[in-house]
Structure 1
Amino acid sequence: MDFSVKKLASDAGVFFTRAVQFTEEKLGQAEKTELDTHLENLISRADSTKNWTEKIFRQTEVLLQPNPSARIEEFLYEKLDKKLPSRTTNAELLGQYMLDAAKDFGPGTPYGSTLIIVGEHQKRLGAAEREFLQSSSVGFLTPLRNFLEGDWRTIAKEKRLLENRRLDLDICKARLKKAKQAEAKAAAAPDFQETRPRNYVLSASASALLSEEVDKAEHELRVAQTEFDRQAEVTRLLLEGIGSTHLNHLRCLHDFAEAQATYYAQCHLYMQDLQRELINVITVCANAGGATHTSTSAGCPNPISSALLSEPSSPGATASSSTSSAPQRPGALTIEDMQLPVTGARKAKVLYDYDAHDASELSLLADELITVYTVPGMDPDWLVGERGNEKGKVPVTYLELLS
């Protein structure tokens, strides 16, 4: 118990002495030992790495999980070393609601069948999102967290220890300076009453004590300088490892960007497939309606054709006798209107970018104008597009036919 009290008192004394030295340095009343330029640059680089890594980590968390409550839940599970239950994404939940609604409305109805198609694609999008979140968390967030909670804590601890060693060194320098000043002052003062042996002995004893104080201060300074140099070397070696940390984070950044690219590519493919299936539903509804089908809004839902097929048909367009006798929305085109003969070429404006999947297709850029036509027996969802010397199949859903 006595040892613990003495140690506590000693630690409190050291802390107070360092606090006094630090305060006097801030007030300009004490000299401060400056670190070498290389070590200062390493410390500055490490601090910058920590600050920006922390910001990138926090913002990536917000990107991957915008819900603050969910982030807090994930944090608590992680600190308790428990596995977080698999969370359903919003897209998956929406898809499930659509599928349940289709069962209630009837999967054979136009609305029910379309709900099934869209719901299944929403669940695919949600599954792709969950996979992206998992891969990004493991490949990007975890290395950043490991640096902040592991390597950086070690660096910060050694930096604090280096600062304490520097304060101790400056305290020893100040103590030696005061001891030498006291010794010099005593040596310069005349030995008063030298004729009296008692006073002479006292003066010699005081001089010896001052000399002993100087020797003690010099010894403490050498010890403090050695400890400071050793700690500076340890800290320097740790800080030089920041370069390897940057390389590791660079690889993780590549993995994160690759995961994003894969996720968005999957979403793009799923949405293209969804558009094709919706156009097929429209075609089936149009063919099933026959002469009694008056408009897409009266029969099956047509969420895409209103945006794509908004221009009046060209004089060369061939319409069936059943649809020509039915009333149409002014300016609307049916699927049959787009089945142009080979000689009935016309201009079309591209609505979205499209990447060709094989050599038979033509890649498209949004807002460009191309020439399109159809050939007998061709799938009604596709047209033949020409751009200069380039030719290939193009999807109807990506075009706006012009008069």
Structure 2
Amino acid sequence: MIIGVPKEIKNNENRVALTPAGAAELVKRGHEVYVQATAGMGSGFTDEEYVSAGAQMLPTIEDVYGKAEMIIKVKEPIEPEYELIREGQLLYTYFHFASSEALTNAMLRNKSVCLAYETVELPDRSLPLLVPMSEVAGRMSAQEGAKYLEKTYGGRGMLLGGVPGVHPAKVLIIGGGIVGTEAAKMAAGLGADVTIMDVSLKRMRYLDDIMPANVKTMMSNEFNIRQMVQDHDLIIGAVLIPGAKAPNLITRDMLKTMKPGTVLVDVAIDQGGCIETTHPTTHDEPTFVIDDVIHYSVANMPGAVPRTSTLALTNATLPHAIDLAEKGWKQACREDNSLKKGLNVVDGKVVYKGVAEAFGLTYYDVDSIL
């Protein structure tokens, strides 16, 4: 198969979808790998390393899309890429379709095959290609939240862990999945007073067992959220409904009950956000303020730590990339039900229910196109 790796062009996205080691694995199996020049530089991989691994370099993004049968990316295509994608071309990347009607319509129009990292799902309902970036984003959410609590950035001027004789900051995490767990580990490690809210008693029992004494659990519901946001300094939204738009659990009217300088970090922003007042921001302009509350909602948080993120992501995505290249996407998905669940849009049809429901589109059973 002919595989293309374009340079990411989303704002401050420094990750790359394939490392030189990954390119070598594909090349030794007889596949052709084309990498856009300087695509790996942001993650610390030189063009020379790719060439040594057997990949071929192409000068422009147009060249890569024009050559490849399968495109491997990190982030969803953005508008300048829409017209470069060909009918039947396989795109293997994060899409988060339910948060963008424009992206969904563009991929329906070009009749490409869109296999989304975030909806590849194992029988135990875990999301193996989302986990690595959820781990990074969860840890970063506490790190970024701690920074924006500093007065320099408009926060309350609080040190997350406090000092002897001074109470630590109070951190509220809504969602006890991978993001919430990693956020809690980081915040607790810095000495904060942490509460994780979730709707699953089973999950909260697990978290109660594994977390240190400065982490507590609480049932997530509207009444409890309204009470808790009033006296917490950092609030992290870590809610995920696979493939679907995140629910708004913190509403606009709740902001007025928060203390001035409270920091909100919405890690669910890729799926539309779980805080009503957030919208996607960039690493160039990561925050905005509403009602004296700081909102941080960067849509590609792991892009700020690209070396760590690229290595973590490609550890998970490469085995499936090899399967897709070896067998073709149809055969690979027929043989691997987990990979089949990654198909979202195929040949102008929506084959993932959460995406169809988000925009009122016709849903087609994925087995009908395999």
Do the two structures share a fold, i.e. TM-score over 0.5? no
Query: TM (normalized to structure 1)?
Result: 0.20
Q: Which has the larger radius of gyration?
A: 1
Query: TM (normalized to structure 2)?
Result: 0.21
Structure number having the greater helix percentage? 1
